Structure 1
């Protein structure tokens, strides 16, 4: 009688369960089954069929039910999930269920037959409904200017390829594809808005001629529309958009068509890298530096690293694409691990296109707006121009303080300060994503007198309305992006406030020559050593999207105008890559990534004393074991930004080593020894590999 090894969808349990397979029943690796554990039923996935088990056969249970006639996952996807599980130290069962559509994760949908799903016309994704839904057609009617190499003088000057150079690039690419060789190419441009699109188009045609699929990953869904529309007009093949806003039924239908090879080009967000493809031939990761790729609600992983792993396992090329490449990517180029597909020989010198001014006044006409800044804004309004203000703080006030007991209102689950929204009279916790009604009385002293502290976008809008009552003020964010840009009249002066980058392809109609950055001092006090890198990428991406023949003014309002970081970014260094090389030198001296590797062990407990005692014993045991490991450093216990979460106190240990494999072996040893420490049953722990 055969024994099948099964994994379940659980973020804590990383065990394989052994069950007996009845003689008359046949199943395969990658099929789902129903099993019982302690009188409860769970959906599991078969990852191995064998005749041996560590447990005695008489103690093994039979499976309850086979749910699939054919495997949902092939052996490649199971091996892919195993690699991810081993690297990120995360249960393989949870990763495999993450790969499957939601339809197959729930019990009430478990018995659905995939063959019954209609795939009548896979081009239903390619109709006008999606574009209408996002008002894309309306945007085109008001003559929004998308990228065109003939019109954009910068790219005409710097990015015109000689025919021979283009031929050489395509020949080398075709050679790699024919040899089924894995390689990581890097490009310094933005394919999302069709920069050097002709070369990409030719590469995509090479892959399509080999009857393989192409995956283009974008950081957010609204980045995909221009690519989608362009490829529809140029290629006679099936193309689909794929992101999380689709209904479960639509996602399931797309998943089936991708798996069967009926869709050739897939333009999707980060989760599309985990989908099973019929025959993948090329991965293009756009905006590879983007912070969104490094964060996930289920478990912490880096989409870029997983995409590279997938390309390596598939023996296919991958292209990493960005105007502001990440420090890790530049480091890998320096050590010859990655190659430029084509390199921009001339970098943009931003001083030629922008004049930078720092405002560091102590006297303010109104909170957070200096007198000089108000005068400058008024001057540009009189010129009938639109002013763009970049500001990141959401809500009306960053904190709410009680005037009597002087205590700040905090979230009961995570102890972080509530953000106050005046328009809806609600409190919002940024960490827990919890929204509650504003308190009528203080929960500490039971008196009613609250003071809003700090300024959010709502309050900034209110201040600007009071100062400039006759001027239209627009607050643009991810939710209202397309609706708001339709309301802007380029013939009238207006003030646009945004927390996100306003891409020139959507905002080229603006008559704008003034850009303002407010309240950027928080980067100077961050605990995260990567803050300078993220800020630099943010600033230079904004500048890239405001390049024009006419020189623009950039105002940075700060209390520290002579700070070293600001002087180096805006005055000392000429280009983005000058700043990056400075950061790399700094990290090398301090032995920080990418020159070393980090793993963060996060521990949680409801009892703070038990947590601290546990960590004290654990750290002592780690030091005793690895006292002779000179290249290994243990840092902590340290507090996290989210000190408390859902009633659990939180601390972390950071492990550092020059060699990644050695660090993983040390982590595996720590997992074993900490199970033997007293009170381990009262501790929850999370492993975060390559923490942000």
Structure 2
């Protein structure tokens, strides 16, 4: 060791280690950003610690070029959380900090708020409102928002709405709005908004009474509430209590499509500064929200997975809605679970955390067993709504019209005649799963993956949903030149075509990833459904999440069988969650009796029998018992080493060397073996699975070896990763 003061930095590189740098003058603050030379580049790094000694010859060390911040830019607890996340998920700490900070901060921009702007409605503007053209929808909406906000609009309020800046400029030029700078306050005493508290049933009141006494300290709660049980109203009334204590709320939601609805409902309840974090924000908007939250100028922050790393000046409550959802787990790069890290963050910040779901994950139910979460159940639908009647329909030997049985079609007709809405669920977008030649049997396979390409009729393209490769549909078979190329199987596009023919006088809407690519398209669909402008919805998994459609009375699940047979040990849990959530969309109003028809060629499958003759709660207990007997998560901690290269030999060689490195670690090791999908995006893939009954033992084994793997010769020939607590085994 050399006696030399150094700064130990997290540099954004794929190396699992820290880097020592020299500094001139005063030592940089721990948690501050510095600019450093790294190879031929200049990078923005984070100071992790200061040390008096270094293991590297000081003559070989470089100096910090520039100190960007005079102090730590993160609250101490969040700084600690990010370091924990890098360690737990075995990911390079520099890249973890880079992933958790806004892009502009990673580029070295100052962590300081720019002036806030507001727009005030003038007397001329008020006079202009009645004179606006009927088709000037956006302008009318902008005026209405001004009126709703007492004639004064702030940037924070505009951030949650899709108003093009040119409209504001036009209104300014006409003298309808006056732009001025103002100082945003950090007072969030909630004043009356537009919606008052809803009347609670006994179970909702019990939930609030159970959680409210713990709003000043760390405690974890799991609200297990059936679909439509009013979990959101419970959240709202607890948020009210937190805001009254001058604290902030962080709410995570799984889908960006749910965020605008949640924001709108909260805006109507609380007259406080609210921010919505989503992928449509510019880098500048994202940084502004991050800085405002850090300075306490926002009361409620709502967002998807990455919103977890938003700093809060006065944290008061964390809510993870639909906690079971797979989207909370990042599947590429820094593979973290936002739900699991939210629990750690709440503990560090000593704030309560609420996980909510109608179909709780096995991990959360296990945490209830272990006493880490307190279970609160909501077993009744709110507002006197009744649970839907569920029927599993045996479609063996029945004629299917594009996947639709006659009983399902008849049921749809009956509900539509009563001016109610129907939803047909098929978790497979596209027109058909693939294209096949009638003459020779050729099938359109993706040359880069071990999977068929999906046929999309609207765009006349074949699309691989695994690697995103797209090609134009051939006019003739590439093998035998026959023009007889036929779509095989059922997709949402084909279902849309069939339902339009069956119900020509009804409005049919397909809601999937393809139809909701444009900004605000999901919001527009949701609004159209609530306005009764759509009669029949065709939906994929997107529609199973948290949506409330009062006039939706019938749900038909077309192809259940595709979910029932899988080698993944989580398949039963996932299928039960999906079917329960889909069924929960029906009959959410007290005036409408919901009905669910689930088509299957395997009506006696144990999952369907157990789920619908009993309930999700009973099924989940059986799943937990099976997992415990098999020593599978959550009764064991698991990690997967994945590797890919141009041929299978290279990843297998690397993973065998990893296996040797694990040696006498005490871990149970499976593999290496080719991945369930051996070829993806042109690369051959393999994996090595390790597990232990103790989470700490798994971490103790992984931590020392993960940095050494970079030194292996075979590691340079593959792209590899470690997935801790994997949610998908593929």
Q: TM class, shorter-chain normalised?
A: 0.7 to 0.9
* Structure 1 counterpart of 2:24: 22
2:205 to 161, 178, 181: 161
Counterpart check, 1:681 vs 2:716: yes
Aligned ranges for residues 161-560 of structure 1 at < 5 Å?
161=205, 170=212, 172-174=213-215, 177=216, 181-189=217-225, 195=231, 197=233, 200-201=235-236, 203-340=238-375, 342-344=376-378, 353-403=388-438, 406-439=441-474, 450-477=485-512, 479=516, 480-487=521-528, 494-499=535-540, 500-501=542-543, 506-510=548-552, 512=553, 514-547=554-587, 551-560=593-602
**Do the aligned partners of residues 440 and 62 (structure 1) sit closer, same or farther apart at CA in structure 2, a change above 3 Å counting?**
farther
Secondary structure at the aligned position of 1:427 is classed as strand
Cα distance in 1 for residues equivalent to 2:548 and 2:330: 26
Cα distance in 2 for residues equivalent to 1:147 and 1:368: 45
Residue by residue over 1:60-90, the C-alpha shift from the partner in whole angstroms, topping out at 9 and shown as x without a partner, is 1223333445543354333221100111101
Secondary structure at the aligned position of 2:635 is classed as coil
Cα distance in 2 for residues equivalent to 1:92 and 1:191: 39
Q: In the alignment, is the contact (CA less than 8 A) between 1:3 and 1:49 conserved in 2?
A: yes
* Structure 2 counterpart of 1:138: none
Q: In the alignment, is the contact (CA less than 8 A) between 1:396 and 1:456 conserved in 2?
A: yes
* Structure 2 counterpart of 1:598: 638
Structure 1 residue 216 displacement after superposition: 1.6
Secondary structure at the aligned position of 2:601 is classed as coil
Cα distance in 2 for residues equivalent to 1:276 and 1:490: 38
Instruction: Tell me which moved more, 521-530 or 485-494.
Output: 485-494
Structure 1 residue 59 displacement after superposition: 1.1
Given the two structures, how large is their TM-score scaled by the length of structure 1? 0.84
Q: In the alignment, is the contact (CA less than 8 A) between 1:389 and 1:496 conserved in 2?
A: yes
* Structure 2 counterpart of 1:625: 664
**Do the aligned partners of residues 367 and 100 (structure 1) sit closer, same or farther apart at CA in structure 2, a change above 3 Å counting?**
same
Secondary structure at the aligned position of 1:589 is classed as helix
Q: In the alignment, is the contact (CA less than 8 A) between 1:29 and 1:75 conserved in 2?
A: no
Counterpart check, 1:130 vs 2:169: no
Cα distance in 1 for residues equivalent to 2:555 and 2:533: 17
Structure 1 residue 491 displacement after superposition: 7.7
Residue by residue over 1:587-630, the C-alpha shift from the partner in whole angstroms, topping out at 9 and shown as x without a partner, is 222221111121111122223223334444554664x635xx4x
Structure 1 residue 490 displacement after superposition: 7.8
**Do the aligned partners of residues 255 and 567 (structure 1) sit closer, same or farther apart at CA in structure 2, a change above 3 Å counting?**
same
**Do the aligned partners of residues 409 and 40 (structure 1) sit closer, same or farther apart at CA in structure 2, a change above 3 Å counting?**
farther
**Do the aligned partners of residues 482 and 524 (structure 1) sit closer, same or farther apart at CA in structure 2, a change above 3 Å counting?**
same
Secondary structure at the aligned position of 2:54 is classed as coil
Cα distance in 1 for residues equivalent to 2:630 and 2:283: 47
**Do the aligned partners of residues 91 and 502 (structure 1) sit closer, same or farther apart at CA in structure 2, a change above 3 Å counting?**
closer
Note the residue ranges of structure 2 that are not aligned, 5 or more in a row. 120-152, 165-194
* Structure 2 counterpart of 1:42: 43
Structure 1 residue 662 displacement after superposition: 0.9
**Do the aligned partners of residues 48 and 449 (structure 1) sit closer, same or farther apart at CA in structure 2, a change above 3 Å counting?**
farther
Q: In the alignment, is the contact (CA less than 8 A) between 1:194 and 1:227 conserved in 2?
A: no
Structure 1 residue 271 displacement after superposition: 1.1
Q: In the alignment, is the contact (CA less than 8 A) between 1:182 and 1:311 conserved in 2?
A: yes
**Do the aligned partners of residues 543 and 608 (structure 1) sit closer, same or farther apart at CA in structure 2, a change above 3 Å counting?**
closer
Secondary structure at the aligned position of 1:565 is classed as helix
Q: In the alignment, is the contact (CA less than 8 A) between 2:674 and 2:685 conserved in 1?
A: yes
Instruction: Tell me which moved more, 546-555 or 419-428.
Output: 546-555
Q: In the alignment, is the contact (CA less than 8 A) between 1:119 and 1:257 conserved in 2?
A: no
Structure 1 residue 396 displacement after superposition: 1.1
Secondary structure at the aligned position of 2:112 is classed as helix
Residue by residue over 1:181-240, the C-alpha shift from the partner in whole angstroms, topping out at 9 and shown as x without a partner, is 42112223489996473x545543443354332212222234344543454454453322
* Structure 2 counterpart of 1:55: 56
Given the two structures, how large is their TM-score scaled by the length of structure 2? 0.80
Structure 1 residue 564 displacement after superposition: 1.9
1:563 to 592, 605, 621: 605
CA RMSD of aligned residues (A): 3.5
Q: In the alignment, is the contact (CA less than 8 A) between 1:149 and 1:195 conserved in 2?
A: no
1:660 to 661, 677, 695: 695
Q: In the alignment, is the contact (CA less than 8 A) between 1:358 and 1:561 conserved in 2?
A: yes
Secondary structure at the aligned position of 1:569 is classed as helix
Structure 1 residue 129 displacement after superposition: 7.1
Structure 1 residue 41 displacement after superposition: 2.7
Structure 1 residue 381 displacement after superposition: 4.4
Q: In the alignment, is the contact (CA less than 8 A) between 2:255 and 2:304 conserved in 1?
A: yes
Q: In the alignment, is the contact (CA less than 8 A) between 1:411 and 1:418 conserved in 2?
A: yes
1:118 to 115, 120, 125: 115
**Do the aligned partners of residues 465 and 209 (structure 1) sit closer, same or farther apart at CA in structure 2, a change above 3 Å counting?**
closer
Cα distance in 2 for residues equivalent to 1:296 and 1:237: 35
**Do the aligned partners of residues 190 and 57 (structure 1) sit closer, same or farther apart at CA in structure 2, a change above 3 Å counting?**
farther
Structure 1 residue 656 displacement after superposition: 1.8
Secondary structure at the aligned position of 1:679 is classed as helix
Secondary structure at the aligned position of 1:188 is classed as strand
* Structure 2 counterpart of 1:102: 103
Note the residue ranges of structure 1 that are not aligned, 5 or more in a row. 135-145
Q: In the alignment, is the contact (CA less than 8 A) between 2:421 and 2:535 conserved in 1?
A: yes
Q: In the alignment, is the contact (CA less than 8 A) between 2:548 and 2:585 conserved in 1?
A: no
Cα distance in 2 for residues equivalent to 1:161 and 1:486: 30
Cα distance in 2 for residues equivalent to 1:527 and 1:274: 34
